[in-house]
Structure 1
Amino acid sequence: MTNEVTVPLLPCASIDDIENFYVVLGFSTTYKQRRPNPCVGMQREDLHLQFFEIAGFDPAQSYGSCLVLTSDIAELHRAFATGMRAAYGRVLVFGMPRMTRPRARKNGDGLGGFSVIDPGGNWIRVFQKPATMPPPTPAPAGRLAKALANAIVLADSKGDVCQAARMLDSALARSQAGDDPVTHIEAVVYRAELAMALHDWETATEMLARAKHIALNPDEAGRAAPTFEIAADLAAALQ
């Protein structure tokens, strides 16, 4: 048979917290009950998620996760970010809930993706459908680019922010004149994002300031523009 639909059923500590958060992201409630078991269903267009409440559940220890495949990760991320800005005044980039940025994942065959970590500690991992991926652009080669790719896997995929930060610190401490300046800026801004996830405001501020002082030619400035937009979001969140 064809046209089957699978809907993830994920744990949480509070279905009310889950419902409130997903409404911010543009979801609507399709079903909610308190008895005999608390659960809630959320829907945004063709994206369906359901959640069940567990008394005493610790979201920080959750293994809940699912994959979402979409034809336009940038548009979906933009919609989620708009909802967060309207509700919270900023994009949530640290703590729980939070959302990572769309980035190509080395461990996902180079597919672009981002993750939403909801109040239940569930990782909703959003990836571009392979059939709709644009032709890949060659990634800058070199030690710093490899370190950044590995750090993204550690933090954005595995949630190991501390190890990712240590990896980037080591790479940035040995930066060389031959490093691609745009990759350098991407690494520094990503390190600022990791610092915020670790509540290390001093390092985050230092890294964002460092990014502004990396020299760029006009072509490099154009390539770095999306990263500077991320930096502006991070700076706003620091205030």
Structure 2
Amino acid sequence: MKGDASIPLLPCVELAPTLEFYGLLGFEVTYQQRAPNPYAATRRGGAQLHFFGLKGLDPLKAFSTCLIIVDEVEELHARFLAALRQAYGRTPVRGLPRMTRMRKGQTRFTVVDPSGNSVMFIRRDEPSGYGDDADAPTTLLGKALKTARRLRDFKGDDAAAAKVLDAALKKDGAGTTLERARALAARAELARALGDTSGALERDRNLSALPLSAAEREALRLELEAIQP
């Protein structure tokens, strides 16, 4: 007996630019009609996305979202980025369409299409909780790390993530030494992404000055690799 299947059906302003965009990402059109209603089906490997025309759709207010589970994300992100750069002559991190940034150790990224639909690509073996602790964070730094992670990886808002971390790092006794190290590592990575080289070096120095044990440094391995220039 064949297994069940679920296919996301996403709205779009126009089919042509939508299909052109997804074609850059390797999706092939398997069906298309213009009447009586605009409709198209696409496929990339085992993933299918269908689209329908929706009059009056405002891409800036769109909220449709779907998930695509993949075997790996870093190489996939690199291929998508190369294709989008070639097509648009820039890295599309703002406006529409756009794609969230990728850092070492990240297990998901999001593509936002010309109609404002968000398609999230998630690594199949992503840890549960997406890097969050099983329990809700109780310290100021713990809460700031969680908020910054979601601003950076889900919304692609590096500047807002940096502000959240800066506010928490200014507070004495805001969390454990390990949490402060994690926050400094995350802030250094954001500084480099924002083109703030001096800010990144300052966070690097502050991180190096923290009294971390060998076990704590091993726990920070991915974060430390992510901030390597």
Higher helix share goes to which structure? Answer: 1
1:26 maps to which residue? 26
Partner SS, residue 121 of structure 1: coil
Instruction: Write the distance in 1 (CA, Å) between the matches of 2:26 and 2:67.
Output: 18
For residues 92-126 of structure 1, give each alpha carbon's deviation from its aligned partner in whole angstroms, at most 9, with x where no partner exists: 2222221124579xxxxxx9322111111111122
Of 200, 207, 218 in structure 2, the residue corresponding to residue 211 of structure 1 is: 200
Match of 1:125 in 2: 120
Match of 1:61 in 2: 61
After superposition, residues 38-117 of structure 1 pair within 5 angstroms as: 38-101=38-101, 112-117=107-112
CA RMSD of aligned residues (A): 3.9
Is the 8 Å Cα contact of residues 26 and 83 (structure 1) preserved in structure 2?
A: no
Gaps of 5+ in 1: 105-110, 194-203, 230-239
Aligned to 1:147: 144
Residue in structure 2 matched with residue 167 of structure 1 by the alignment: 164
Shift of 1:181: 5.0
Q: Is the 8 A contact 1:144 1:175 kept in 2?
A: no
User: Residues 170, 67 of structure 1: CA spacing in aligned structure 2 closer, same or farther, 3 A cutoff?
Assistant: same
C-alpha displacement at 1:58, in angstroms?
Answer: 0.3
Is 1:35–2:35 an aligned residue pair? Answer: yes
Deviates more, 1:72-81 or 1:163-172: 163-172
Q: How many residues align?
A: 208
Q: Deviations over 1:126-176 (max 9, x none)?
A: 2222xx35899x99998546422222235644x495875653341244488
TM normalised by structure 2 equals 0.70
Unaligned stretches of 5+ residues in structure 2: 209-217
Counterpart AA for 2:56: G
Sequence identity (%): 32
- 1:76 deviation in Å? 2.2
Amino acid corresponding to residue 112 of structure 2 in structure 1: I
